[in-house]
Chain A
Amino acid sequence: MMYLQLQDLLPLYFEESKKQTSEIWGKDLRFEKGEMIKIVAPSGSGKTSLTHFVYGTRSDYSGTISFNGNKTRQFSFENFAGWRKDHFSIVFQDLRLFPEQIVFQNIDIKRQLNPFYPPEKIKEMAERLGIGKKLESKAKTCSYGEQQRVAIIRALMQPFDFLMLDEPFSHLDNVNRQIAMQLMIEEANVRGASIILADLQRVDFFPYTKIFHL
């Protein structure tokens, strides 16, 4: 069974005292594949840091993060590339799209890396999330809410064991949040995967199995 483990984790720039108040920093946690994890994280609690530590884009932390018992700190660049391609998908808070590419290309660049779906699926999902007409527009011309949905669809184009979401709905209205959440839950179920959702407040329509306060 796939699992993600956080042991005694703390950003180097945080005080040791953070370990006392947090349910994640300084704790020994194990997330099994298939669990729905909710992390409630107010501003400044280190939510985005945690996302980057787990994804391997930053390493200024103490403690260990391991995937199936393998410490990610010891991953080579190639290991990380493979891990991101096959096992771990993410929606960043700052989205990270190619601004000059059209929406379809932005999604397809991820899809072709390890295709879980044929390209037709992009249009289907885009229409479901209400951005079907935006597929041929450059990403930089889309509103922030539209870009958020592009990033969500992009994250669903690959196989994964864990899907990590960092404030994925900040610019969506309630209806669109619900539609997007529903799509992600369906996609996680197709893969038997986990969702780790980190947000400022509780998202009511996320059926979490575990909740942590950062």
Chain B
Amino acid sequence: MIRILGFLVGSAASIGMMLLLLGVPDINLSKPPIDDAASASVSQTIEAVAADLEAVAVETIEAASEFVDDEFVDDLPTIYPPAEEQAASNSEDADLPAEELISDTSQIASFPPDPSEPGTATAIDDPPDNDLRWHSFWNPFRSEIAANGFVGQLEKVTGLDYRVVKIKTGVYEVTFAYENDTERRTKLTQIASATGLELPES
């Protein structure tokens, strides 16, 4: 027992001596070492490119302004507007109270459908046309695959465009766009005659 204790104390003492003599290694995994010279070179390059771009942009605007009437010069686009300014200029409802904005957002979330849903018929690139209304003419489908299958065949036999609207999970409506009631009835008649479906108002 005494021998074992002596061995352990001796080992600890020799390790301590080695650490004192050699020093504790500095281990830092959080940040990679940075070459100061390279960093300075990169930042200089970025500044130079930015200056060139600005100069080119100013020249382009000046050149363009020669061909534009003076009254439109003020409408020339700002090259890089600050984010806050951009958000404010894009929102016509910027002055509305916060509650109204939240309410509007919830309506947009439910209709038209969420473009992040895979396979929805809504084209993300198409801007919403505010003049169009959407008519759902059949019971909702339980699955999006079924709704899209229905739309695919309908488009084939009627030549009309349809959208699948996700009301909530497991409820998918098939709709078509219309501008007025006459067009809505015409399309219903078209669908009924092409498919044999008996639709009210067709």
| A, B assembled together | no
B: residues with CB less than 8 A from A are: none
